[in-house]
Amino acid sequence: MNDMLLAVAISVTGATRLEIDHVPNNVSYRTALSPRDLDGRARIRIESRDPAAIARIVAAIEHTDAAGDAAQADLRYAIRLRDARGATCARIYLDAFGERGLVDGRRVRFSSDAIKRAIVAAFPSLRN
């Protein structure tokens, strides 16, 4: 798969609500966590309607490139953006480093860890 701009693959411009699930990065699991594992084992759940925080995270998504990746990453962050009606605009999973993950079900390697940095800056409890 060629490099793609995440904003092309997903539609985040109308997002008004943000949900993030997180499994702490220092907890070691026998196998890499899948989306289903992460959804079931999250220890931190954040929900926000703060327009400024959402705008910063959407900007990070829009400025991050991603390329296809063959391997399954050990997922630690699940980010869901919703529009005003509650419909999901995007579902993005990140590994502990913010460098690999899933975008709408596709395994990807991100061009930088900007999305992780944006969510940690907005919600410091996601740092570890």
Partner 1 sequence: MLHPALTPARGPLARHGTLAVPQSDDALYQQAKSYLSRDPVEAKLFRALEHSPDGRHYELSINNRNDDHFDPNDDEIAWDPYSALRTTNGGKQSPALGLGHEVDHAIEDPRVADRLRNTPDPCYDNAEERRVIMGSERHAARALGESVRYDHGGRTYRVSSPVTR
Contacts with partner 1, residue ranges (CB under 8 A): 24-32, 40-41, 71-74, 95-97, 99
Shortest spacing between CB 109 and partner 1, in angstroms: 10
Nearest in space to 9 (alpha carbons), one of 114, 111, 115, 106: 106
Rounded CA-CA distance 47/21 in Å is 9
Measured from the CB atom, the residue of 86 and 105 that comes closer to partner 1 is 105
Shortest spacing between CB 37 and partner 1, in angstroms: 8
Shortest spacing between CB 39 and partner 1, in angstroms: 13
* DSSP summary character for residue 32: P
**CB under 8 Å to 112, separation ≥6 — which residues?**
64, 99
Measured from the CB atom, the residue of 81 and 96 that comes closer to partner 1 is 96
